Chain A
Amino acid sequence: GAGVSQSPRYKVTKRGQDVALRCDPISGHVSLYWYRQALGQGPEFLTYFNYEAQQDKSGLPNDRFSAERPEGSISTLTIQRTEQRDSAMYRCASSAGTGRVAFFGQGTRLTVV
């Protein structure tokens, strides 16, 4: 597509529910990144993929967070048993490769109530 597309744009969920956030990267981009951004702060790295391989997941806060990119295109970030502290803006970015410009999507605003 023309840009990185994320869905849903807004998600409100009850504490304890699982959520799945979707990212559709720019067509042809081999690298895909997930970040989390708190209000007034810079994006915080969660994980990234080259093609379908998850290269680095060091930023995932705990084992409730997981991500996949099974066909090397669309990616899903899943948060199990959500907690209020998971409330944040989740941003996806893609690039033509490592060490190339990463372009960001509009993000998914997750609110856990």
Chain B
Amino acid sequence: GESVGLHLPTLSVQEGDNSIINCAYSNSASDYFIWYKQESGKGPQFIIDIRSNMDKRQGQRVTVLLNKTVKHLSLQIAATQPGDSAVYFCAENLSWAGGTSYGKLTFGQGTILTVHP
């Protein structure tokens, strides 16, 4: 079945360092991936997404890399700041197959990122 998992449950970095958060997915048919940031007491907040026809996408201080060969997704955060401290979730979606749309997002367990000043 579908599943998404993370290699590292916690990540601790110094302010200004670059952070890399990893995610493995098992459904090779998934065609859409999203990274969310969730701060304590809040709902998941969209960071960046990528479709399976791409292997890299950049945003402001963030980059998502997709390796379909090994079914691996990563989120890179440049010059990490204390405000980046949160739980980060990757999510996968098989959005279209056989003429049918599928809205279900499957989330991983999450990685706790702690940024020390």
- Which A positions have Cβ atoms within 8 angstroms of B? 4, 31, 33, 35, 40-45, 48, 50, 55-56, 58-59, 91, 95, 97-99, 101-107
- Which B positions have Cβ atoms within 8 angstroms of A? 4, 31-32, 34, 36, 42-46, 49, 89, 91, 93, 95-96, 101-110
Please name all residues of chain B whose beta carbon is closer than 8 Å to the beta carbon of A106 when the two chains form the complex: 42-43
CA distance A4 to B42 in the complex (A): 12
Please name all residues of chain B whose beta carbon is closer than 8 Å to the beta carbon of A35 when the two chains form the complex: 105
Q: Which of B31, B36, B45, B110 contacts A40 (CB 8 A)?
A: B110
Please name all residues of chain A whose beta carbon is closer than 8 Å to the beta carbon of B107 when the two chains form the complex: 42-44
| In contact, A99 and B101 (Cβ under 8 angstroms) | yes
Please name all residues of chain B whose beta carbon is closer than 8 Å to the beta carbon of A95 when the two chains form the complex: 103
| In contact, B103 and A33 (Cβ under 8 angstroms) | yes
Please name 19 pairs of A and B residues whose Cβ atoms are closer than 8 Å in the assembled complex, sorted by A: A33-B103, A42-B91, A42-B107, A43-B89, A43-B105, A48-B104, A50-B101, A56-B103, A59-B104, A95-B103, A97-B101, A98-B101, A99-B31, A99-B32, A101-B34, A101-B46, A102-B103, A104-B36, A104-B45
CA distance A42 to B112 in the complex (A): 12
Given contacts A43-B105, A102-B34, 19 further A-B contacts (CB under 8 A): A4-B43, A33-B103, A40-B110, A41-B110, A43-B44, A43-B107, A45-B106, A48-B103, A48-B104, A55-B102, A91-B43, A91-B44, A97-B101, A98-B103, A99-B31, A99-B101, A101-B34, A102-B46, A104-B45
